């Protein structure tokens, strides 16, 4: 233990709580951090001012050789080595002269592809969160653990000099690829650590020819793997949690020559309006060992899941074994089906469409959804958004790098690709309502059991999407979105509007090599 203490680069550290058992972490959180326990035994904490990620405060250090690979811009912002050095000092100072939590974990369930990551924090519930979300080393692995990446989470400090540093605010989340370190200040939101390491995996893996993916995954009784890509709020977590299919993971996976592997060891589900009947597995996962974030409960610890007074982005993290039907290996074979999820706030897209290869590439690069409230700072109602590969916020490299890898794998393994809209039906946001989870699940079941292939398909004009006319277990009238709108001319108008947004967005790929020109596979006006 003493050599760990010396290796941290901190001064006068007290006790180093390394991979402390969860019971002790819970005790710390209750006694020192104001945490409470819910009526079902989950720890309840508040994450403070930040109840979601803060993407404008995320930076990479601009240095050789990673600066040649990183796609610089609004998403991957530059910061100099000097500013990083300054803030690393600030962060280390914050973590010095006290007892700290060191949590050593793996990101990646594949022995060939995983990374050993060390988190240093002074907040007990954050150490608990890390243990929930990542993969815990065995005692033997822990004894030989050599961190390949270290995150200093100094959330209790801020960058007072952010103006002269040229940063966006007092909050900082900065990655140093060459030194294999990252620093966090000013935000307690633990999703920054989860999605931060995900961003690093998105940097490392493609350079080894492996595909990192913002998707959930599960596996059927016949051993068929399914992937569900989608931006926040589109249903990755909800729909991959399926009593009839073993969960591989709910958010981040890699795909290498052996198949699909989870990066994580736990799930991070939204609990706003959580309904016991439509999502019983997630509801029952909220027990001892889970952490509820920013929820409101009464004096008996009974949670009101409809209460959004702290945030719309209320969450629960839990280790994957809180879901009964899961794969302990956190791995699956090459996928048979890939589903692109979106939550279309315009109510234009069909609940399910089959995509050909060109369309798959087009819709993957487009990455459309309506961003739903709360997960990111400053977004309080749904707005349409295009995010390449359904996760541009986490992609340090050019989106075409990921698209090319996906395209090759789809060809090689002959994967079926579908678009599933979990968003609005019967009108746009405000008029229509969200598709029922029951209907969405039925669409997905028809894809996964192959029965969709028996349907007769029709082509939706402008988008040229193939939509089934009937589908087992799905109300027929919802399959063609135009039928669900009372005002047909309003539907046609909205459809044209959404098509133009797709077309406009895709123009950014026209400056690239013609091999990424999938324009013809998209909407045509």
Ligand X SMILES: Nc1ncnc2c1ncn2[C@@H]1O[C@H](COP(=O)(O)OP(=O)(O)O)[C@@H](O)[C@H]1O
Ligand Y SMILES: C=C(OP(=O)(O)O)C(=O)O
Does 522 appear as a known binding residue?
Answer: no
| 236 tagged catalytic | yes
Q: Which residue is nearest to ligand Y (CB)?
A: 232
Least Å distance, CB 345 to ligand Y, is 16
In the set 77, 128, 195, 371, the catalytic residue is: 195
Piece of 29-37, 398-406, 433-441, 443-451 that binds ligand X (CB under 6 A): 433-441
Q: Are 268 and 237 in contact (CB under 8 A)?
A: yes
Alpha-carbon dihedral sign for residues 300, 305, 306, 310: positive
In the set 236, 253, 326, 495, the catalytic residue is: 236
- How far is C-alpha 389 from the geometric centre of its chain's CA atoms? 12
- d(C-alpha 105, C-alpha 245), whole Å: 27
Does 235 appear as a known binding residue?
Answer: yes
55 touches ligand X by CB under 6 A: no
For residue 355, give the nearest of 464, 211, 226 by alpha carbon. Answer: 464
| 232 tagged catalytic | yes
| 237 tagged catalytic | yes
Does 214 appear as a known binding residue?
Answer: yes
285 touches ligand X by CB under 6 A: no
| 371 tagged catalytic | no
* Residue 409 binds which entry of ligand Y, Mn ion, ligand X, none, CB below 5-8 Å type-dependent: none
Does 189 appear as a known binding residue?
Answer: yes
Per-residue DSSP letter, 251: S
Q: Choose between 248 and 401: whose C-beta lies nearer to Mn ion.
A: 248
Torsion (CA) 445, 448, 454, 458 in degrees, nearest 10: 80
**Residues in touch with ligand Y (CB under 6 A):** 53, 191, 194-195, 232, 236-237, 251, 268, 375
Does 440 appear as a known binding residue?
Answer: yes
Q: Which residue is nearest to Mn ion (CB)?
A: 237
Neighbours of 411 (CB within 10 A): 10
Q: Choose between 234 and 494: whose C-beta lies nearer to ligand Y.
A: 234
Indicate the burial class of 35 (C-beta count within 10 angstroms; 0-12, 13-18, 19 or more).
buried
Indicate the burial class of 278 (C-beta count within 10 angstroms; 0-12, 13-18, 19 or more).
middle
Peptide bond into 448 cis (omega under 30): no
For residue 359, give the nearest of 472, 247, 460 by alpha carbon. Answer: 460
* Residues 6+ positions from 104 with CB-CB distance below 8 Å: 18, 19, 116, 117, 118, 119, 137, 142, 145, 147
In the set 58, 114, 210, 214, the catalytic residue is: 214
| 413 tagged catalytic | no
Least Å distance, CB 494 to ligand Y, is 26
236 touches Mn ion by CB under 5 A: yes
- d(C-alpha 337, C-alpha 215), whole Å: 12
| 354 tagged catalytic | no
Piece of 147-155, 293-301, 399-407, 432-440 that binds ligand X (CB under 6 A): 432-440
| 408 tagged catalytic | no
Per-residue DSSP letter, 148: S
* Residue 440 binds which entry of ligand Y, ligand X, Mn ion, none, CB below 5-8 Å type-dependent: ligand X
Beta-bridged to residue 262, according to DSSP, are: 253
- d(C-alpha 138, C-alpha 212), whole Å: 25
* Residue 235 binds which entry of Mn ion, ligand Y, ligand X, none, CB below 5-8 Å type-dependent: ligand X
Does 331 appear as a known binding residue?
Answer: no
| 118 tagged catalytic | no
Does 232 appear as a known binding residue?
Answer: yes
Least Å distance, CB 13 to ligand X, is 37
Residues of this chain that bind ligand X (CB under 6 A): 230, 232-239, 269-270, 272, 279, 422, 434-437, 440
Residues of this chain that bind Mn ion (CB under 5 A): 236-237, 251
Q: Which sequence positions are flagged as catalytic? A: 53, 195, 214, 232, 236-237, 251, 315
């Amino acid at each position: 233990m003493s050599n760990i203490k010396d290796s941290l680069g901190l001064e006068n550290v007290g006790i180093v709580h390394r991979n402390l058992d969860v019971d002790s972490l819970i005790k710390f959180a209750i006694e020192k951090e104001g945490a409470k326990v819910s009526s079902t035994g989950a720890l309840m904490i508040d994450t403070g001012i930040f109840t979601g990620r803060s993407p404008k405060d995320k930076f990479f250090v601009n240095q050789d050789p990673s600066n040649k690979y990183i796609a610089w811009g609004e998403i991957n912002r530059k910061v100099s080595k000097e500013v990083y050095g300054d803030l690393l000092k600030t962060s280390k100072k914050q973590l010095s002269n006290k007892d700290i939590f060191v949590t050593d974990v793996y990101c990646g369930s594949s022995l060939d592809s995983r990374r050993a990551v060390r988190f240093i924090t002074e907040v007990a519930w954050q150490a608990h969160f890390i243990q929930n979300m990542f993969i815990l080393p065995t005692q033997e692995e822990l004894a030989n653990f050599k961190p390949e990446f270290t995150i200093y989470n100094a959330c209790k400090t801020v960058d007072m000099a952010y103006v002269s540093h040229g940063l966006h605010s007092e909050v900082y989340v900065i990655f140093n690829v060459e030194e294999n370190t990252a620093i966090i200040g000013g935000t307690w939101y633990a999703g920054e650590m989860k999605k931060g390491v995900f961003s690093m995996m998105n940097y490392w893996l493609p350079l080894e020819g492996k595909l990192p993916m913002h998707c959930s995954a599960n596996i059927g009784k016949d051993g068929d793997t399914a992937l569900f890509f989608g931006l926040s709020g589109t249903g990755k977590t909800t729909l991959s949690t399926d009593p009839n299919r073993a969960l591989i993971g709910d958010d981040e996976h890699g795909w290498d020559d052996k198949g699909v592997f989870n990066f994580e060891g736990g799930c991070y589900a939204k609990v706003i309006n959580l309904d016991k009947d439509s999502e019983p597995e997630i509801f029952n996962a909220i027990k001892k060992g889970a952490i509820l974030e920013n929820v409101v409960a009464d004096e008996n610890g009974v949670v009101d899941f409809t209460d959004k007074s702290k945030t719309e982005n209320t969450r629960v993290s839990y280790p994957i074994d809180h879901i009964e039907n899961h794969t302990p290996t956190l791995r699956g074979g090459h996928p048979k089906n890939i589903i692109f999820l979106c939550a279309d706030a315009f109510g234009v897209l069909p609940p399910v469409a089959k995509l050909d290869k060109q369309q798959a590439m087009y819709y993957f690069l487009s990455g459309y959804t309506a961003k739903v409230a709360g997960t990111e700072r400053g977004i309080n109602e749904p707005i349409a958004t295009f995010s390449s590969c359904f996760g541009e916020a986490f992609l340090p490299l050019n989106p075409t790098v990921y698209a090319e890898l996906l395209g090759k794998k789809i060809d090689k393994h002959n994967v079926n690709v579908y678009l599933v809209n979990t968003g609005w039906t019967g009108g746009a946001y405000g008029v229509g309502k969200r598709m029922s989870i029951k209907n969405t699940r039925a669409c997905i079941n028809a894809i996964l059991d192959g029965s969709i292939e028996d349907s007769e398909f029709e082509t939706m004009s402008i988008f040229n999407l193939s939509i089934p006319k009937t589908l087992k277990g799905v109300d027929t009238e919802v399959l063609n979105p135009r039928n669900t709108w009372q005002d047909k001319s309003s539907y046609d108008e909205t459809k044209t509007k959404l098509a133009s947004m797709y077309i406009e967005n895709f123009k950014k790929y026209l400056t690239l090599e013609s091999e990424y020109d999938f324009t013809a596979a998209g909407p045509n006006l």
